[in-house]
Amino acid sequence: MRNIILGLVGVGRIGVMHANNISALNGILHPRGLNIHLRLTDVATDHAQKTAADLGAEYLPSVGELIASGVDGLVIATGTATHPDLIRAGVDAGIPVFCEKPVALNVTDSLPVVDYIKQNNGVVQIGHQRRFDDGYLEAKRAYQSGELGWIHSLRAVTCDMTPPPVEFLATSGGLFRDCSVHDFDILRWLTGREIVEVYAKGSNNGDQAIGDVGDVDTALAVVTFDDGTVGTVSASRYNGAGHDVRLEIQGSRRSLMVGLDEHSALTSAEAATDFPAGEPHRTFAERFNQAYRSEMAAFVELILGERENPCPPEDAVAASRVADAAQESLVTGAPVKVDLGSSR
Ligand SMILES: NC(=O)c1ccc[n+]([C@@H]2O[C@H](COP(=O)([O-])OP(=O)(O)OC[C@H]3O[C@@H](n4cnc5c(N)ncnc54)[C@H](O)[C@@H]3O)[C@@H](O)[C@H]2O)c1
């Protein structure tokens, strides 16, 4: 039996979910001869100690002690501003790193981190979990096999039920960088194409405090791909019907939609239609439960050298470049060419 020790930094909203998933991995990977151990830390000491006790994990008082304890991989689930330093710490220790998206608060801050990783032969997987979602995987297969015909339209949707706290929004970089960045990543990953131009509009019809911190509660971006195909990426913080994440791909032969199932946060306007019959998802954790678990299993395989990096930092930065262009377009009111950069 081989022991794999994962060190988790940050047990806030998403960190607790990763902690639970890492604990659950043990049951899944045991038949493969692997024992997964979790060690964790957080500056919120009491909360971290309690989380560790609840999960039978080991608590360490600091990131330094966590790394020095001899972990096989570092999982970073702290706020975005801390990502660059923590990624560097993991790379310096010579261990593979999983870091929640994004690499840093903006593209400018991300580029030196990407260079540092390259120069030091670091292995860093970024947390774009949709790449592991069964629906998006099937859409990618169908798109790339050509069975949909030529694609005339792509429409991506990401809607939260309620906004996060305004204090969070004030430092999030805006709706496109915080939320739609997942759609920008998945569109690049799925199509294998670059988004070259973005034209964005937004609105503020909910809590005006969101506008006061310079953000919008709802936005839509028209994106143009490098082959001329067009698509839309829309997002809202006020989707009372449920957490709604979908992607519609329409082709000359066939069309399909990711996220159209019994839990879709939509009802039909047509009479005598009882679809969807299930309860809508309420949060990202519910919607992507399977994807987050598969993502962490993939990180273990990356540590073991059994797979390619499923989400390298260069890809995450490329998605952030599109988000930056969308944010600029929102502010200027004009279409913006995406800076495709040279670090890819
Ligand atoms: N992939 C996704 O779907 C997804 C969803 C939500 C959040 N995120 C990302 O995850 C990250 C965390 O978001 P969140 O909503 O969980 O934030 P959060 O504020 O709820 O949690 C962050 C935790 O990190 C701890 N922390 C902060 N600095 C630390 C440090 N230097 N050392 C140790 N602990 C520290 C805080 O005490 C807190 O418990 C963000 O970068 C966010 O963009 C990704």
Please name the residue whose Cα sits nearest to atom 31 of ligand 1. Answer: 82
What is the model's pLDDT at position 342? Answer: 63
User: Which ligand 1 atom is the nearest neighbour of the CA of 80?
Assistant: 41
What is the number of domains present in the chain?
2
Residue 237 belongs to a domain = yes
User: Which ligand 1 atom is the nearest neighbour of the CA of 44?
Assistant: 37
Residue 317: name the closest of 206, 177, 152, 163 by CA.
177
What is the model's pLDDT at position 104? Answer: 92
- In this predicted structure, the answer to whether residue 209 has a pLDDT above a threshold of 50 is yes
pLDDT 10s digits, 64-81: 999 999 999 999 999 989
Could you tell me if 148 and 274 lie in one domain? yes
Parent domain of 78: 2-129+292-311
Instruction: Output the CA–CA distances (angstroms, integers) from residue 30 to 26, 55, 81, 119, 332, in the order listed.
Output: 6, 17, 35, 35, 54
What is the model's pLDDT at position 171? Answer: 85
Instruction: Output the CA–CA distances (angstroms, integers) from residue 51 to 20, 40, 169, 273, in the order listed.
Output: 9, 9, 26, 44
Residue 342 belongs to a domain = no
Distance 32 CA to ligand 1 centre (A): 31
Residue 344 belongs to a domain = no
Could you tell me if 261 and 115 lie in one domain? no
Q: What is the dihedral of CA 115, 121, 123, 126, to 10 degrees?
A: 10
Residue 113 belongs to a domain = yes
- In this predicted structure, the answer to whether residue 105 has a pLDDT above a threshold of 50 is yes
Residue 156 belongs to a domain = yes
- In this predicted structure, the answer to whether residue 29 has a pLDDT above a threshold of 90 is no
Q: What are phi and psi of 17, to 5 degrees?
A: -65, -45
d(CA 206, CA 166): 12
Could you tell me if 206 and 232 lie in one domain? yes
d(CA 267, CA 84): 42
Could you tell me if 121 and 146 lie in one domain? no
d(CA 309, CA 284): 23
Residues 343 and 111: beta-carbon distance below 8 Å: yes
- In this predicted structure, the answer to whether residue 49 has a pLDDT above a threshold of 60 is yes
Could you tell me if 269 and 138 lie in one domain? yes
Could you tell me if 111 and 192 lie in one domain? no
Please name the residue whose Cα sits nearest to atom 28 of ligand 1. Answer: 78
Residue 343 belongs to a domain = no
Distance 8 CA to ligand 1 centre (A): 11
Distance 13 CA to ligand 1 centre (A): 7
Could you tell me if 148 and 271 lie in one domain? yes
305-329: average pLDDT: 97
Distance 42 CA to ligand 1 centre (A): 10
Residue 246 belongs to a domain = yes
pLDDT band at 168 (very low <50, low <70, confident <90, very high): confident
Pocket test for ligand 1, best of 45, 85, 100 (most atoms within 8 A of CB): 100
Q: Where residue 152 sits, what CATH number does that domain have?
A: 3.30.360.10
pTM across the whole model: 0.95
State what percent of residues in the chain have pLDDT above 90: 91
Distance 147 CA to ligand 1 centre (A): 40
Residue 249 belongs to a domain = yes
12-25: average pLDDT: 95
- In this predicted structure, the answer to whether residue 343 has a pLDDT above a threshold of 70 is no
d(CA 245, CA 289): 13
User: Which ligand 1 atom is the nearest neighbour of the CA of 168?
Assistant: 19
What is the model's pLDDT at position 30? Answer: 80
What is the model's pLDDT at position 172? Answer: 86
pLDDT band at 177 (very low <50, low <70, confident <90, very high): very high
Could you tell me if 146 and 114 lie in one domain? no
- In this predicted structure, the answer to whether residue 341 has a pLDDT above a threshold of 70 is yes
Could you tell me if 88 and 118 lie in one domain? yes
Q: Where residue 120 sits, what CATH number does that domain have?
A: 3.40.50.720
d(CA 79, CA 102): 10
pLDDT 10s digits, 181-191: 999 999 999 99
Please name the residue whose Cα sits nearest to atom 33 of ligand 1. Answer: 42
Distance 334 CA to ligand 1 centre (A): 33
Could you tell me if 112 and 135 lie in one domain? no
Distance 299 CA to ligand 1 centre (A): 18
Pocket test for ligand 1, best of 66, 76, 78 (most atoms within 8 A of CB): 78
Question: Residues enclosing ligand 1, CB less than 6 A?
Answer: 9-15, 41-44, 63, 77-80, 82, 100-101, 127, 129, 284
Could you tell me if 135 and 123 lie in one domain? no
Could you tell me if 103 and 136 lie in one domain? no
pLDDT 10s digits, 130-152: 999 999 999 999 999 999 999 99
